[in-house]
Amino acid sequence: MTPKQMRITALAGGVGGARFVRGLLHELRAVRGDQETEVVVVGNTGDDITLFGLRICPDLDTILYTLGGGIDERQGWGRAEETHAVQAELAELGAQPQWFGLGDRDFATHIARSQWLGQGQTLSQVTARLAERWGLPGQGVRLLPATDTPIETHVVLDEAGADGSDAGERAVHFQQWWVQLQAAVPARRFTVAGLGQAVPAPGVLEALRTSDVILLPPSNPVVSIGIILGVPGVRDALRGSRAPVVGVSPIIGGAPVRGHADACLSAMEVEVSARGVAGLYADFLDGWLVDEADTGTVQTPRLQTRALDLRMRDEAGAARIAGAALDLAAELSVQRSA
């Protein structure tokens, strides 16, 4: 009787999520010699944007490029060895916008995805084809969009009148806030167009129901993990899962490791801390990794916390953190079966 194949599901956003999953695979395959366990990654699609007539899925692409070895390591997004001839010509043509950096190799991904979507393929089918190109099946990894329903996160900002009076509010696409505005303009709130009608992509609920471990990487809890949790059915599946759910705090000592999670949490009036983020996941979280700087700050009944260095300086660091998450999940499983 071959031992039942283990399955791990991770809900991932962009850079932090992708680096964590790369570390998880290193820990499983290289450190623990486990070539069997399947890793399912449920990717955030709220960042998706249509530019120049092309559908761009930043978080899915960041996971594909990072796991496939094509990522620009310094930026954490986009392709390595990129050129920007197309973007330069678009600028000559006066095509807008120019604030979102798109390289030539990256454009090929968006052209292929847009062609296949235009032929009626679902985002899941398109993502599976892109995953083939990046060798994910050979690593025992399945990348699923959170939903095939087009959704987009928009950010509601204060609209100051010319004389500084409160002229109401306006909404911009998440990418415009994140990239062009550098999240420097305070967000009043986030809205996700299409989320109410969104359906989990094929395999997402099944993965959550059948996994032995569910992991929440240190992705942005509001605009990455939060969006995945907002897809109808996903949060209930996490609440009802028999698998331990273990998360990694994206906040160390009151500040995000990268990105603008602090601006996102403040918009939600959530404390920018490991404790604040744990509170957002309180209805389904079983285990929580916090940085040593935050030891003892999370005193939530039923929630088991462990403190360690949460800086993912390199793949080995990410593997160490992923290993700690797996170890905590194993402890929780033993407690459950006891």
Q: Which residues bind ligand FO1 (CB under 6 A)?
A: 13-15, 47, 58-59, 61-62, 77-78, 100-102, 106, 175, 178-179
Token output for 54: 């092309």
- What 8-state DSSP symbol labels residue 258? S
- What 8-state DSSP symbol labels residue 168? E
CB atoms under 10 Å from CB of 182, counted, come to 10
> Given the complex with ligand FO1, which of 49 and 208 has the nearer CB atom?
49
- What 8-state DSSP symbol labels residue 4? P
> Given the complex with ligand FO1, which of 78 and 200 has the nearer CB atom?
78
Q: How far is the CB of 67 from ligand FO1 (least distance, A)?
A: 14
What is the number of the residue whose Cβ is closest to ligand FO1?
14
Q: How far is the CB of 263 from ligand FO1 (least distance, A)?
A: 12
Which helix (H) or strand (E) segment holds residue 325: the answer is: helix 315-337
Q: How far is the CB of 261 from ligand FO1 (least distance, A)?
A: 10
> Given the complex with ligand FO1, which of 191 and 295 has the nearer CB atom?
191
CA–CA distance, 35 with 37 (Å, rounded to integer): 6
> Given the complex with ligand FO1, which of 23 and 259 has the nearer CB atom?
259
> Given the complex with ligand FO1, which of 60 and 245 has the nearer CB atom?
60
> Given the complex with ligand FO1, which of 144 and 332 has the nearer CB atom?
144
CA-wise closest residue to 12 among 173, 145, 184: 145
> Given the complex with ligand FO1, which of 45 and 241 has the nearer CB atom?
45
Q: How far is the CB of 245 from ligand FO1 (least distance, A)?
A: 22
Token output for 36: 């069997």
Distance of CA 215 to the CA centre of its chain: 11
DSSP character string of 86-122: HHHHHHHTT-S--SS---HHHHHHHHHHHHHHHTT--
- What 8-state DSSP symbol labels residue 147? B
Q: How far is the CB of 264 from ligand FO1 (least distance, A)?
A: 11
50: left (phi over 0), alpha (psi -120 to 50) or beta: beta
Backbone angles phi, psi at 136, to 5 degrees: -70, -45
> Given the complex with ligand FO1, which of 116 and 326 has the nearer CB atom?
116
Q: How far is the CB of 49 from ligand FO1 (least distance, A)?
A: 8
Q: How far is the CB of 168 from ligand FO1 (least distance, A)?
A: 27
32: left (phi over 0), alpha (psi -120 to 50) or beta: alpha
Q: How far is the CB of 220 from ligand FO1 (least distance, A)?
A: 7
CA–CA distance, 100 with 115 (Å, rounded to integer): 21
CA-wise closest residue to 205 among 39, 40, 13, 326: 40
